[in-house]
Amino acid sequence: MISFIVRLRFSPEDHDSIENILRELTRESRLEPGCVTYVPHFVDGDANTVVIYEQYRDEAAVEHHRATPHFAQFAIGGLYQKMLEREVENLTFIA
């Protein structure tokens, strides 16, 4: 199991467009056969920060996710163009 958290920071004026992009990206990502969990959140008290919890069956599923048309459109062509900061935390599964 591959799990990680992506933390993205955006300008306040991008809040609504980020929410729309995330709705589309989430809908498509959850349909991928190797996607176990894909859950985006706005941080309470900091509406300019998004945290996405992602979990995939294996490394091949992560690679597949990053090669999809919806990742290219919504992540690379949307979120990455608007983000001010990006941080990824890889997680180790306990139980």
* Coil, helix or strand at residue 94: coil
**Nearest one of 11, 85, 22 to 52, comparing CA atoms:** 22
Residue range of the domain that includes 79: 2-91
**How many domains are there within the chain?**
1
Helix (H) / strand (E) element for 69: namely helix 69-70
Q: Are 48 and 16 in contact (CB under 8 A)?
A: no
Report how far residue 61's alpha carbon sits from residue 58's, in angstroms, rounded to the nearest whole number: 5
What's residue 95's pLDDT? 81
In the beta sheet, which residues pair with residue 8? 50, 86
pTM of the model: 0.94
pLDDT in tens, the chain (95 residues): 999 999 999 999 999 999 999 999 999 999 999 999 999 999 999 999 999 999 999 999 999 999 999 999 999 999 999 999 999 999 998 98
